């Protein structure tokens, strides 16, 4: 068990003592009749006198989150999924079982039965007549979890975050109610829920970089889906007229407050409809969900109040850019657009199409200012390879994106059902891929074949569940609405020490780079000398075997102007130092041992070696 400390050791001793007493520290099932919330709800108005006259027997199970010991009596708070209730342990009532109470710690899970009473301060309390230890907590809960500056620790140890932060638990309860409200609304509107493949031979339905995997039995590469769109539209071809899927998508892209590689989407499709229908539909769907989840269509979000009361503005994309001060000549000329973007500090990939240039300008100048619900419509055809062209302007498509609080919440369009046009769009996307755009849509000839059988006119929409939950729960990072967001691997003691040495060298003005492999994980150059450095976190003594590996690796890179340094993160004994020095003299390597737990100590010792 890592990070063993005195608190953990003490709890392990208590665990052993409980076993010697014949108490199983990790018990079995416990049948309880009440919850903290039900007890407080039913008996909230009961007086102490009425509870004495009419004995109220209750039983609850939960985690100890507070405890006060008064010798022959103890008070504690037991927290379950609904709240917490004070309980009272009395030695005179429990007898020998009170010895178990003395071995309890905050974090332990217990089941208790007893009768309710009022304390002298008036708090409703359960006097325990039966105690069952269900789980002994070996690791103590953090004392100052609330307000931790290292929010990544909260995400990494979400199980602790849920124990000690009720607001976090409420967010995920609300997330569940939001998804239920969406599902109920769609089913009431005649939509059928379906499931489509999560592993696909051709990733389609969005412009994104996929994750690749391999199917051994079929000897073929597969991709985790980036969207379910093309499969859902195949179902329209097959005769299902209204379908939806609440699905997990995977995109091999960056991580930010708005993006997680794995995320939840709602996608739904309606035959014989267009994107105008979906705008009206969305104006009914989202207010319904908001009222079910929050009780209101007016939502606090940061310093803003978002009003979901329909109708919402509907603004063509190019007009929204003009309204934001983008010159009209920029919207019609690619060279002008690229030059204007550069002059205004907007980064543009030189390989991207004109439509994507306009999209980057829109994202910079318009999107952040769309606070209240706004439909942006009529996108360039280059940005929408699966959408139907506008009958008024074939360079645009019948598409909208819904923005709220400066973020895209939904994306929808009248679906392209012309197989020849679709094939041509795929071919154009293939050319963009060949030019270096690895997010362009891949050719899917089976989907074109499905369209050749005939797909009815249809409208389809995708809504980002995670971003919607962020909006409805007043959270500003997607990680706050995902139970287990993706994070970098947790740093090991070896990682920490390697970074300490690397930073110490950098602060000395030494150029340093990390090296792969088991030996010499750092390489530095200074004053014409190349230093190969092995920075090693020691869990025990330096062994002769370790040194042999070190010198074997040194032999491969030895030469004029090359020196070697061994850094370890603990002081070595005289015997260990002699072992290192003897190897150094024997193999004629310039080797020094550097120890120290902080960078200042490392810098001082490294400075003596690197001159």
According to CATH, what is the number of the domain 168-324+366-481?
3.30.930.10
pLDDT digits (tens, 9 = 90+) for 411-423: 999 999 999 999 9
Contact residues for 128 (Cβ-Cβ < 8 A; gap 6+)? 87, 88, 89, 90, 93, 94, 112, 113, 114
Mean pLDDT over the full length of the chain: 89
- Would you call 358 exposed, middle or buried from its count of C-beta atoms within 10 A (0-12, 13-18, 19+)? buried
Residue 542, pLDDT > 80, answer no
CATH topology match: 6-135 vs 168-324+366-481 = no
pLDDT of residue 586: 52
Separation of alpha carbons 611 and 608, rounded Å: 7
Residue 361, pLDDT > 90, answer yes
- Confidence at 326, pLDDT banded by 50, 70, 90: very high
544 or 157, greater pLDDT: 157
pLDDT digits (tens, 9 = 90+) for 140-199: 988 754 544 568 888 999 999 999 888 999 999 999 999 999 999 999 999 999 999 999
pLDDT of residue 599: 67
105-109, 181-185, 440-444, range with the lowest pLDDT:
440-444
414-428, 455-469, 531-545, range with the lowest pLDDT:
531-545
Contact residues for 524 (Cβ-Cβ < 8 A; gap 6+)? 505, 510, 511, 512, 513, 530, 531, 533, 610
Separation of alpha carbons 412 and 461, rounded Å: 4
pLDDT of residue 147: 46
pLDDT of residue 66: 93
Separation of alpha carbons 401 and 383, rounded Å: 12
pLDDT of residue 254: 79
Which whole-number Å values give the CA distances from 281 to 420, 477, 529, 562, in the listed order?
30, 27, 70, 71
- Domain 6-135 = CATH 3.60.40.10: no
Residue 1, pLDDT > 50, answer no
Strand residues in 384-435 grouped as ranges (E)? 396-404, 407-414
pLDDT of residue 94: 96
Pairing of β 192-193 and β 242-250: parallel
Domain positions in the chain: 6-135, 168-324+366-481, 493-609
% residues pLDDT > 90 (the chain): 66
The residues with which 462 forms a beta bridge, in sequence order, are 267, 411
- Confidence at 587, pLDDT banded by 50, 70, 90: low
pLDDT of residue 400: 97
pLDDT digits (tens, 9 = 90+) for 123-153: 999 999 999 999 999 999 887 545 445 688 8
Are 353 and 432 a contacting pair, CB within 8 Å?
Answer: yes
pLDDT digits (tens, 9 = 90+) for 222-280: 999 999 999 999 999 999 999 999 999 999 987 888 889 999 999 999 999 999 999 99
Residue 589, pLDDT > 60, answer no
What is this structure's pTM?
0.82
91-105, 310-324, 459-473, 575-589, range with the lowest pLDDT:
575-589
Residue 581, pLDDT > 70, answer no
- Confidence at 2, pLDDT banded by 50, 70, 90: very low
Pairing of β 374-380 and β 396-404: antiparallel
515-529, 537-551, 582-596, range with the lowest pLDDT:
582-596
- Domain 493-609 = CATH 3.40.1350.10: yes
């Amino acid at each position: 068990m890592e990070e063993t400390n005195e608190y953990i050791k003490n709890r392990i001793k208590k665990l052993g003592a409980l076993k010697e007493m014949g108490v199983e520290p990790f018990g079995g099932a416990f049948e309880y009749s009440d919850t903290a919330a039900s007890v407080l709800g039913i008996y909230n108005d009961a007086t102490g006198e009425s509870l004495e006259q009419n004995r109220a027997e209750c039983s609850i199970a939960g985690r100890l989150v507070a405890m006060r010991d008064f010798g022959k009596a103890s008070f504690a708070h037991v927290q379950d999924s609904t709240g917490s209730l004070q309980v009272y342990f009395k030695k005179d009532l429990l007898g020998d079982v009170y010895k178990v109470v003395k071995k309890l710690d905050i974090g332990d899970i217990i089941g208790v039965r007893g009768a309710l009473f009022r304390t002298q301060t008036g708090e409703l309390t359960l006097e325990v007549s039966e105690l069952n230890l269900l789980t002994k907590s070996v690791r103590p809960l953090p004392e100052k979890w609330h307000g931790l500056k290292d929010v990544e620790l909260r995400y990494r140890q979400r199980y602790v975050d849920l124990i000690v932060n009720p607001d976090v638990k409420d967010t995920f309860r609300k997330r569940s109610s939001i998804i239920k409200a969406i599902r109920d609304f769609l089913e009431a509107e005649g939509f059928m829920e379906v499931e489509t493949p999560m592993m696909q031979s051709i990733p389609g339905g969005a412009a994104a970089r996929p994750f690749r995997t391999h199917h051994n039995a079929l000897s073929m590469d597969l991709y985790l889906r980036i969207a379910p769109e093309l499969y859902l539209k195949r179902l329209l071809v097959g005769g299902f007229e209204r379908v939806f899927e609440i699905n997990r998508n995977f995109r091999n892209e960056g991580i930010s407050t708005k993006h997680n590689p794995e995320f939840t989407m709602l996608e739904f499709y309606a035959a014989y409809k267009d994107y105008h229908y979906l705008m009206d539909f969305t104006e009914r769907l989202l207010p319904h969900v908001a009222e079910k989840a929050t009780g209101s269509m007016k939502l606090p979000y940061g310093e803003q109040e978002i009003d979901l009361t329909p109708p919402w503005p509907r603004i063509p994309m190019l007009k929204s850019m003009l309204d934001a001060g983008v010159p009209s000549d920029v919207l019609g000329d690619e060279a002008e657009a690229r030059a204007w973007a550069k002059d205004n500090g907007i980064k543009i990939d030189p390989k991207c199409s004109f439509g994507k240039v306009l999209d980057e300008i829109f994202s910079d100048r318009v999107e952040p200012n769309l606070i209240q619900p706004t439909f942006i419509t009529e996108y360039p055809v280059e940005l929408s390879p699966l959408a139907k062209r506008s009958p008024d302007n074939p360079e645009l498509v019948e598409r909208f994106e819904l923005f709220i609080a400066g973020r895209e919440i939904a994306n929808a369009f009248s679906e392209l059902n012309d197989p020849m046009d679709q094939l041509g769009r795929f071919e154009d996307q293939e050319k963009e891929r060949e030019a270096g755009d690895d997010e362009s849509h891949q050719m899917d000839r089976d989907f074109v074949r499905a369209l050749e059988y005939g797909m009815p006119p249809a409208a389809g929409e995708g809504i980002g569940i995670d971003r919607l939950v962020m909006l409805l729960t007043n959270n500003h990072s997607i990680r706050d609405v995902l139970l287990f967001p993706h994070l970098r691997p947790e740093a090991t003691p070896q990682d920490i020490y390697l970074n300490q040495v690397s930073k110490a060298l950098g602060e000395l003005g030494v150029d340093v780079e990390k090296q792969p492999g088991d030996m010499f994980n750092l390489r530095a150059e200074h004053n014409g000398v190349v230093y190969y450095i092995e920075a090693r976190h020691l869990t025990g003594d330096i062994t002769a075997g370790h040194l042999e590996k070190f010198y074997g690796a040194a032999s491969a890179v030895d030469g004029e102007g090359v020196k070697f340094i061994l850094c370890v993160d603990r002081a070595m004994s005289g015997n260990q130092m002699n072992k290192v020095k003897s190897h150094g003299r024997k193999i004629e390597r310039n080797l020094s041992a550097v120890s120290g737990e902080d960078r200042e100590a490392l810098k001082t010792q490294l400075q003596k070696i690197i001159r």
